[in-house]
Amino acid sequence: MDIILGAGFFAWIGAVLYPIGKYLVPPKVAEMSVNSVEAGGISEFPPSSSKIVRFGRRPVIVFRQQNGDFHALSATCTHLDCTVQYKSDTEQIWCACHNGLYDIEGKNISGPPPKPLMQYQVVLQNDKVIVTREEMT
């Protein structure tokens, strides 16, 4: 009886400790509610280049102008949710689906988009490009 009781007690300890352990160890899945993401190193962004990065569940377009300035905007067109691109020749954000254009601040300037793109802040820290949630619009 004592052996059975002892085994049962240890099994109970295991049943209690396992969920606690799983709770303490961070899950493999990426955190959904993020306030900032690293878009890459500064060297990955030569002038007139862009990159789409994942910000939680949203795609964000990070781009560097010819003059070296960085910007980050929501990459989802406000017309029909297509993914936008950075047009380095005109320094505008372009949606290829219906030829919608935004300026570098995300303001809709031509075509069907009904409202601006959400702005994100870009912080350069230790040679890294960090995009933060502090939306400016």
Partner 1 sequence: MRNLQLLGVILFFMGFLLAEQQPIPKEDACIRCHKEMDEEQEEGQKLFPDILNDIHLKRGLSCADCHGGDPEAFDDEDKAMWDNESFSGEVSRTDEIAMCGSCHSDPRFMRQYSTAIRTDQVKQYWTSKHGMELKRGNKKVAICTDCHGVHGILSVEDPRSPVYDMNVPSTCSNCHSNSDYMAEFGIPTDQYYKYRKSVHGEALLDNNDVGAPACNDCHGNHGAIPPDVSHISDICGTCHVNNDQLFQESHLKPIFVKRGFGQCEACHGNHEVLKPNDDFLNWEHGSVCVQCHEDKGGEAKIMADHFYTLLDSLKGQIAIANSFVEKADQKGMEVSDLLFPLEEAHKVLIQTRTSIHSFNKDYVEEIAKPGFEATKTAIEGGKAALAEFDFRRKGLFISSLIITFLALALYLKIKDIDRKQSKDKS
Footprint on this chain of partner 1 (rule: CB under 8 A): 1-2, 4-5, 8-9, 11-12, 14-16, 18-19, 27, 29-30, 32, 54, 57, 59, 79, 82-83, 96-100, 111-114
Contacts of 119 (CB under 8 A, 6+ apart): 71, 72, 73, 74, 105, 106, 135, 136, 137
Shorter beta-carbon distance to partner 1: residue 40 or 111? 111
User: Could you give the CA distance from residue 54 to residue 60 in angstroms, rounded to a whole number?
Assistant: 6
Which is nearer to partner 1, 42 or 82 (by Cβ)? Answer: 82
Residues near 100 by beta carbon (within 8 Å), at least 6 away in sequence: 77, 79, 84, 94, 108, 110, 111, 112, 113
Tell me if 103 sits within 8 A of 88, measured CB to CB: no
Q: For tokens 């007690």, what's the residue? A: 9
- Which of 10/128 has CB closer to partner 1? 10
Please state the closest distance from residue 129 (CB atom) to partner 1, in A. 20
CB 96 to partner 1: min, Å: 5
Helix and strand element counts for the chain (H, E): 1, 10
Compute the least distance from the CB of residue 38 to partner 1, in Å. 17
Distance in Å, CB of 67 to partner 1, minimum: 27
Cβ nearer to partner 1, comparing 34 with 42: 34
